């Protein structure tokens, strides 16, 4: 079963696209990566998305960008399929996370109702119409509606890829917001432990942009970080 996954993370730098071939089912699934690509946002679009996330835009801009990103996500799906030499007719499913513009997992009480909320844009109906492929979305809203915090979403995948009967493993994902998944040796999915750990690339990218005065958007390959030295006291404070 060929599936395309689409996401733009909280770094808001572009659309990550993966085309995979999935065989088996459930915890016995096997996943083979056929193609992966990142399609960078134009700088003006990135700026507009950051302004929306900061609450500095009108709702009409949110509405417009929702459908515009849907078009871009649809194009990205076609592009990654072409790169892999796969016809879109062979792709059975698209999973689209969209672009997070607001995430509020901490409950707010209003008139006796406890509300947690999250909002992603990149209209899945547009993706489905443009590609002709069944498109599944709203992963974070569903998790929050079910009582979760909407993040992280990857522990089940981490379990399929990395669980082991004799070795415990810790998977660290430095995304816009960093998170980790602890996989206990020989244990099942009910024993998974996963949580966000704090700012990741959102902070790193911002510092690189400040340091380079806008000439660099990110620390590609971690080359700048590799030149640094650990500040023992700051490290202890952060770990404490």
* 121-179 per-position pLDDT tens digit: 999 999 999 999 999 999 999 999 999 999 899 999 999 999 999 999 999 999 888 99
pLDDT at residue 240 above 90? no
180 and 101 within one domain: no
Q: Higher-confidence residue: 214 or 166?
A: 166
Q: Which contacts (CB < 8 Å, 24+ apart) does range 40-46 have?
A: 40/13, 40/14, 41/8, 41/12, 41/13, 41/14, 41/15, 46/12, 46/13
Q: Summarize the chain as % helix, strand, coil (round to 5).
A: 40, 35, 25
Q: Would you say residue 199 has pLDDT above 90?
A: no
Q: Report pLDDT digits (tens) over 11-27.
A: 898 999 999 999 999 88
Place of tokens 């009480």: 109
Say if residue 38 is exposed, middle or buried (CB neighbours under 10 Å; 0-12, 13-18, 19+). Answer: exposed
Note the pLDDT of residue 218. Answer: 86
Whether 33 shows a pLDDT value over 90: the answer reads: yes
Indicate which CATH number applies to the domain containing 30.
3.30.420.40
Q: What's the number of domains the chain is made of? A: 2
Q: State pTM to two decimals.
A: 0.88
Is the pLDDT at 52 greater than 90? The verdict is yes
Same domain, 126 and 157: no
State the pLDDT at residue 32: 97
Give pLDDT, residue 10. Answer: 85
Binned at pLDDT 50, 70 and 90, residue 239 comes out as confident
Token pair 């406890």 in the structure block, residue: 114
User: Same domain for 202 and 97?
Assistant: no
Residue 232 counted as domain residue: no
Residue 236 lies in a domain: no
- pLDDT > 90? residue 4: yes
Question: Of the candidates 151, 167, 196, which is a domain's last residue?
Answer: 151
Same domain, 187 and 80: no
Do residue 29 and residue 138 come from a single domain?
A: yes
Asked whether residue 198 falls in the same domain as residue 87, the answer is no
Residue 97, token pair as written in the block: 């996370």
Q: How far is the C-alpha of 235 from the C-alpha of 210, rounded, in Å? A: 22
Q: What is the mean pLDDT of residues 193-212?
A: 90
Q: Residue 202: pLDDT above 90? A: no
pLDDT tens digit sequence for 56-109? 899 999 999 999 999 999 999 999 999 999 999 999 999 999 999 999 999 999
Give residue for tokens 């689409």. Answer: 6
Which of 151, 175, 202 is a domain's end point? 151
Q: Which residues contact 78 (CB under 8 A, 6 or more apart)?
A: 88, 131
If asked whether residues 7 and 117 sit together in one domain, one would say: yes
Band of pLDDT at residue 198, cut at 50, 70 and 90? confident
**Within this chain, do residues 140 and 163 fall inside the same structural domain, yes or no?**
no
């Amino acid at each position: 079963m060929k599936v395309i996954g689409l996401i733009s993370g909280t770094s808001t730098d572009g659309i990550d696209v993966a085309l995979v071939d999935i065989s088996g089912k459930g915890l016995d699934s096997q996943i083979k990566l056929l193609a992966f690509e990142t399609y960078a946002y134009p700088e003006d679009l990135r700026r507009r998305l950051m302004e929306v996330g900061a609450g500095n835009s009108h709702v009409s801009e949110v509405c417009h960008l929702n459908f515009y990103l849907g078009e871009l996500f649809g194009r990205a799906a076609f592009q990654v399929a072409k790169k892999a030499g796969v016809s879109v007719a062979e792709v059975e499913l698209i999973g689209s996370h969209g672009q997070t513009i607001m995430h509020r997992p901490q409950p707010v009480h209003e008139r006796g109702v406890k509300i947690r909320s999250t909002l992603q844009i990149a209209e899945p109906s547009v993706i489905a119409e443009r590609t002709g492929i069944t498109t599944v979305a709203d992963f974070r809203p569903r998790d929050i509606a079910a009582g979760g915090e909407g993040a992280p979403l990857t522990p089940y995948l981490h379990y399929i890829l990395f669980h082991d009967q004799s070795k415990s493993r810790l998977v660290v994902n430095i995304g816009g917001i960093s998170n980790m998944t602890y996989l206990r040796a020989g244990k099942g999915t009910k024993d998974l432990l996963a949580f966000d750990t704090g700012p990741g690339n959102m902070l790193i990218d911002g510092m690189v942009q400040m340091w380079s005065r806008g000439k660099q958007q990110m620390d590609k390959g971690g080359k700048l970080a590799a030149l640094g030295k650990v500040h023992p006291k700051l490290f202890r404070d952060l770990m404490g």
